[in-house]
Structure 1
Amino acid sequence: MTNIKNIKDVAKHANVSIATVSRVVNNLGGYSPATKEKVLKAIEELEYQPNALARGLISKRTETIAVLFPEVSSMFSSKILKGVEETVHQRGSSVIVCNTSADGEKTLKYLKVLQEKRIEGIIFVSEMITEEYYKVISSMKIPVVLVSTESYQYSIPYVKVNDRHAAFSATDYLIKKGHKKIGMISGNPKDIIAGQPRMDGFLDALRLHGLNENEKNIVCRDNFLFADGYQALPQLLEKAPDLTAIFVASDEMACGAISAATEKGINVPDQLSVIGYDNLPLAEMTIPPLTTVSQPLEEMGEKAATMLFKMLETGESVESRIMPHTIIERKSVK
């Protein structure tokens, strides 16, 4: 059949009203089994494809959620997105992905566009919720779940690991391997989500084992990227040349640090042990393969989507979830 059929054609073919066809298509009830069978038969015979936008106008549902990432192309984001998408598609819904570039104006613009598109829920990844963001989100009156971030100011459910505890575990692991002169390449201490907590965990472990908590053993960077680790390692070794091990606050930074060490003729792990954070696929590709703290990123995405759907179904908030972290041993720590 070459002619594209619409809902009026289906109603005429089944000898029912357009409203009845709409109710059957959207599974809203209010019709007999015989009527449903007639409508479904007409849909099959006419090869009718219900229009998603039309369904949304009738049901007042778009069956679409949005995921906002500060850097959508990163391995970190792709692992979370995989978990989100699998769960969302199992529920028969769709995902819109927004790359905010951690830019406040761009994030606000995206939120306003999503509001116009009547998005049903938002998963907000790895970025702090500002007052401006919260005002827009509140006005949308839709569920929101945070991933790899949390808000101390606003009551929004989240899924994340305990960053302070995970950083403690990484540093404690180095100490138990016999290292006493340990440094850190950190994110920005003004970042209260992943920057300062990971520094605090590092210092907690040193303190517990009675080791010197010297701030010269920490170099901070604004981001968690390869270039940050590459540039930070020489700075750290200039300040503390006797270090035997370093904890690096992301796998990408750790890869940068290993690259800089190699250029300086420093053997990892024989002369300098390195532990990262995240357990991205990249960690298995380095030479040597990177020992790291694993965040269950796919599971975090799945859990966030599941929580979002529960909020959509019940209209009630859900409890936040702290996910487990583990040490993945490879070859970068002696």
Structure 2
Amino acid sequence: MGPTIKDVAKKANVSTATVSRILNDLPGYSKETKEKVMKVIEELGYQPNAVARGLVSKRTQTIGVLFPDVSSMFSSEILNGIEDTAHELGSSVIVCNTDRDGKRTMKYLQLLQEKRVDGVIFTSEVLTEEYYETLMDMQVPVVLVSTASYRYPLPYVKVDDKHAAYTATEYLIQNGHTQIAMISGRKEDPIAGAPRVEGYKQALSDYGIPIHEESIVYTDGFGFQQGQESFPRIAEKLPEVTAVFAASDEMAVGAMSAAYQLGIQIPDQLSIIGYDNLKIAEMSIPPLTTVAQPLYQMGEVAAKLLNEMLRTGSSVESRIMPHHIVERCTVKRMK
């Protein structure tokens, strides 16, 4: 049998109630006492019983995280930030891969409710009325990441997608490009579809460049395949195009692959800029210039906000995270 809370209290020369308050982050002890107790816990290798702690604090020390595609590089960066921070704050993470399927999402929400998670981080999907009502029934704090809702008052952590897309398009313009195409996600996607198209159009408009709807290729996702399939359509219909803004790095690399197959050299004959700054951007040949989202930090901030809501019982302010251009080797300066 392992060490008990009584063993910790005896060795630290405090009461079991004090040890319990420290473990459950409740007040009533000095900083020195906490340090002494935590040192004894480490020395003895004491593992608090999660169920017993939950009875006292009404918390299970677990949070649920929902991703539409947990295997993507985009999701993994955010998840790393969430997990590292949650573990530092004493919580474990239950990860749910929804596959953008409404029934699966509802099933996972019900599972998280049964597991009595302390809070939920909802990532990269549209927050439907059904999801929102279920989350409210759970009566736990919720933070949105890489998505937001005007209809439902939940705090979010995200980049300003319209502004970031504007920045990417403006970068191409400032490098002398005026014939710029865009590879987008779904036209009706209010998260990463429409706002990024709006940013692209706004930049063209502000610099007096005509906007042509045929210069935008809409797809059903943000993956390598969508970029690979979209670029040949641009090359065929718009041979005068000198630059492409892709709404994700995976799309951009897919477009680069298609360009290579068509004998088009990057950046000498075509410039490409991506969006996200995933690891694949550094690994591509040539390395991809992109507009960066601080994905790890977004996960980190979301976990901290959720913890603050749990600790204080009050709401928190949403966070718009900074974005910036990462210059590599896929954008040529026009003379």
Q: TM-score, normalised by structure 2?
A: 0.89
Q: How do 1:323-334 and structure 2 match up within 5 A? A: 323-334=321-332
- Out of 78, 81, 84, the residue aligned to residue 83 of structure 1 is 81
List per-residue Cα deviations over 1:103-143 (Å, max 9, x = no partner): 11111111111011111111111111000000100111111
Number of residue pairs matched? 331
**AA paired with 2:301?**
K
| Number of the residue aligned with 1:185 | 183
Q: What code does the residue aligned with 2:165 have?
A: A
Q: Which consecutive segments of 4 or more residues in structure 1 shift more than 2 A?
A: 3-11, 17-31, 42-51
CA distance in 1 between partners of 2:155 and 2:215 (Å): 35
Contact 2:50–2:61, Cα closer than 8 Å, also in 1: no
SS in structure 1 at match of 2:134 = helix
CA distance in 2, matches of 1:46, 1:205: 61
**Paired residues for 1:167-186 under 5 Å:** 167-186=165-184
DSSP-derived class of the 1:298 partner: helix
In the alignment, what sits opposite 1:308? 306
In the alignment, residue 286 of structure 1 is paired with which amino acid? S
Equivalent residue letter for 2:248 = S
Compare CA radii of gyration and give the structure with the larger one: 1
By how many angstroms is 1:168 displaced? 0.8
Contact 2:142/2:306 (<8 A) preserved? yes
2:80 match: secondary structure: helix
Alignment of 1:274-313 (within 5 A): 274-313=272-311
Q: CA deviation at 1:30?
A: 8.1
- Deviation, structure 1 residue 19: 8.2
* Cα deviations by residue, 1:72-93 (Å, 9 ceiling, x for unpaired): 1111111111111222111111
d(CA) in 1 for partners of 2:4, 2:108: 33
Shift in CA distance, 242/54, structure 1 to aligned 2, threshold 3 Å:
same
The aligned counterpart of 1:14 is none
2 CA distance for matches of 1:204 and 1:194? 16
Match of residue 211, structure 2, among 207, 210, 213: 213
Contact (CA 8 Å) 2:274, 2:288: kept in 1 or not? yes
For the 8 Å contact 2:5–2:16, the answer to whether it is kept is yes
Shift of 1:58: 3.6
Q: Which residue of 2 aligns with 1:201?
A: 199
Cα-Cα RMSD: 3.2
Inter-partner Cα distance in structure 1 for 2:164 and 2:265: 26
Shift of 1:260: 0.3
Deviations 1:14-52 (A, max 9, x none): xxx998986676465789xxxx9xx99x99999764322
Question: What residue identity is the alignment partner of 1:242?
Answer: E
Which deviates the most, 21-30 or 80-89? 21-30
Distance (Å, rounded) in 1 between the aligned partners of 2:52 and 2:217: 55
- 2:12 is matched with which residue? none
Q: Which residue of 2 aligns with 1:159?
A: 157
Q: Residue 262 of structure 2 corresponds to which residue in structure 1?
A: 264
The change in CA–CA distance for 1:111 and 1:181 in structure 2 (over 3 A counts) is same
The answer to whether structure 1 residue 230 and structure 2 residue 228 are counterparts is: yes
Cα offset for 1:94? 1.2
1:141-160 pair list within 5 angstroms:
141-160=139-158
| Cα offset, 1:308, TM superposition | 0.9
Partner of 2:119: 121
1:61 matches 2:72? no
Task: State the Cα deviation string for residues 222-260 of structure 1 (Å, max 9, x = none).
Answer: 100000000000112222111010100000000000000
Alignment gaps of 5+ in structure 2: 10-14
Q: Could you say which residue in structure 2 is the equivalent of 1:243?
A: 241
Q: Structure 2: how far apart are the matches of 1:179 and 1:74?
A: 31
Per-residue CA deviation, residues 308-327 of structure 1 (Å, 9 max, x unaligned), is: 11111121111111111101
